[in-house]
Amino acid sequence: MKNVMKFKGYTAHIDYNDDERLFPGHIAGIDDTVGFHADAVEGLRHAFREAVDDRLEACSRIGKTPGKPIPGRSYFASVRTCTAGWHWRPHRRARA
């Protein structure tokens, strides 16, 4: 089973943190670090869509072309942000 969601051509990788009972996720294949989380699937869907829309809006606001997702790009390949005043950090993965 793949733990992914898709929206506007972007893919999110989803984990589950049992200690915090949260589903942390991150947008994969982009040159920014964008994370989100929720405690239920519907909230997670909403948070992911909001994260994509917020990123696109922020990039537009500062005049950066957000570009399309880069297939196969590692989540940790780059930690640049296009967001003025915002910095998204990756969520720690739950330990097995």
Per-residue tokens: 79: 């930690």
pLDDT of residue 19: 95
pLDDT digits (tens, 9 = 90+) for 38-71: 999 999 999 999 999 999 999 999 998 887 666 6
* Confidence band for 88, pLDDT divided at 50, 70 and 90: very low
Contact 14, 44 (CB under 8 A): yes
Residue of higher predicted confidence among 61 and 79: 61
pLDDT at 73 over 90: no
